[in-house]
Amino acid sequence: MTDLPTPPTVSAAGLTLRYGSTAALDDVSLRLGAGVTGLLGPNGAGKTTLLRVLATAVPADRGAFTVLGHDPNTTAGRQNVRRALGYLPQTPGFHPDFTAFAFVDYVAILKEMTNRAARHREVRRVLDEVGLGDVRGKRIRRLSGGMRQRVALAAALVGGPGFLVLDEPTVGLDPEQRMRFRELIASAGEGRTVLLSTHQTEDVAMLCHRVIVMAGGVVRFEGTPAELTARADGRVWSSTERDPGARAGWRTGTGSFRNVGDPPEGATLVEPTLEDGYLLTLDASDAASASSSEVTA
């Protein structure tokens, strides 16, 4: 795991949150600096729970974190964290009868931007930034799914937050919209800390300068995308048949098989991708969990 310079924007130590007997977060520690950090993990890994804890939506049972030096455990600290926060939930809601402008303006008011003229300028700025300047007077009910998602991003960006939390923002978007969103997120990450939860490894590969992999409420990897990719160095090979010893294997468009795992002697190694590193990291987690279960049993 790589060292981070101080001071980080977000610093968390030992975050633990349980729902009954299930540990949604188990002793999670991390540090985030400026730029886009990707948060990868399968369903139920605890990604959304981590984002909600960092967004002060739910308190952790144990552990602590700070955002821009503010401690959310105090009332004033929590307010300061929220002032510094832009949050795009996994399934953002909208007031369909509001126009895009009115909705973002509403969020800006809830962010306590009180100067009306300045607020309206800011709302126009973020709507222009997400490419909705031309439809800001349109009711949200009349906007497409991609446009709505951009309204939600504008609502997260309004007020220029220093810490942006995006929970699977590209889900349900077509490739063109996803590409557009990547541009927006990349732009948002310039000089700002962005934590991007996603299932899309391409998003992470294209956008993020750092990546965190979670599984079972635990951080399995924290480092750069290149470091995650490097985990698959020498562990991806091609073959004419699916290799039964591979952890995963599939036929590619060229007709050959791409295998991930422990290659046999003399295998034709190929260049790994970030997804290969991710799969092997998860695979190692599963193996560790399984061996831990066996020991426990």
Partner 1 sequence: MSTLTEARPTSVVAAPEPRRWAAVFALARVEARELLLQIPVLFFSLLYVGYLGWQVWTSDREGMNAFPVLQDADRATQMPPMLIAVAMLICANRAVLRSRRRGTDRHFDVLVMEPWRRTVAHALSVVPFAVAVALAVAGQFTWQALKPGAVGHGSYAELAVAPLSVLLLGVLGVLLARLIPSSFAVPLLALGGFVGTTLLTAGVGNPRWMRWLWPVASESQAEPLPSDLLGRPAAWHVLYLVGLTVLLLWLAVLAGGGRARLVKAVAVGSAALTLTGAVAQSAGDSPALREARVRASVTPEKDQTCIRHDRSTYCAFPEWTGRTEDWAGTVRRVQSLAGGAAGGTPLTVRQRVEARDYGLDQASTFDPSRTPGEVTVGTRWGGNRIPEFAVGVASVLVAGDEEAAGQLCDARTVVVMWLALGSAPDPMTSLKNVRLDDSVSGSAIVLAPTHPLSMSAQQTDVVREMLERPRYSITVKVKANWMELTSPKTSTARAAELLDVPVPQGKEEEEDECGA
Residue whose pair of structure tokens reads 């709505």 in the numeric block: 148
- CB nearer to partner 1: pick between 85 and 204: 85
Minimal distance, residue 258 CB to partner 1, in Å: 29
Minimal distance, residue 203 CB to partner 1, in Å: 19
Question: How many CA atoms lie less than 13 Å away from 228 in the CB half-sphere?
Answer: 31
Q: Contact letters (x/-) for partner 1, 214-253, by CB under 8 A? A: ---------xx-----------------------------
Q: Which residues contact 35 (CB under 8 A, 6 or more apart)?
A: 189, 193, 194, 208, 209, 210
Among 59, 145, 160, 172, binds partner 1 (CB under 8 A): 160
Whole-number Å distance between alpha carbons of 193 and 33: 6
CB 50 within 8 A of CB 10: no
CA separation (Å) from 116 to 112, 113, 151, 153? Answer: 11, 8, 20, 21
Among 17, 60, 84, 208, binds partner 1 (CB under 8 A): 84
Minimal distance, residue 113 CB to partner 1, in Å: 7
Report if residue 106 touches partner 1, rule: CB under 8 A: yes
Among 112, 128, 183, 241, binds partner 1 (CB under 8 A): 112
Whole-number Å distance between alpha carbons of 204 and 37: 8
Radius of gyration of the chain (CA): 21
Q: Considering only residues 161 through 220, tell me which ones interact with partner 1, judged by CB under 8 A.
A: 161-163, 190-193, 209-210
Which SS3 state, helix, strand or coil, does residue 10 take?
strand
Minimal distance, residue 101 CB to partner 1, in Å: 12
Report if residue 50 touches partner 1, rule: CB under 8 A: no
| Contact range with partner 1 by CB under 8 A, out of 106-114, 128-136, 255-263, 281-289 | 106-114
CA separation (Å) from 210 to 3, 98, 198, 277? Answer: 12, 37, 13, 14
Minimal distance, residue 277 CB to partner 1, in Å: 16
Report if residue 116 touches partner 1, rule: CB under 8 A: yes
* Total residues found in the chain within this entry: 297
Among 47, 111, 182, 235, binds partner 1 (CB under 8 A): 111
Whole-number Å distance between alpha carbons of 292 and 1: 22
Structure tokens at 249: 């294997």
Minimal distance, residue 294 CB to partner 1, in Å: 36
For partner 1, the binding residues (CB under 8 A) are 2-5, 8-9, 33-35, 55-57, 68, 79-80, 82-85, 87-89, 91-97, 102, 105-107, 109-114, 116, 122, 152, 155, 159-163, 190-193, 209-210, 223-224
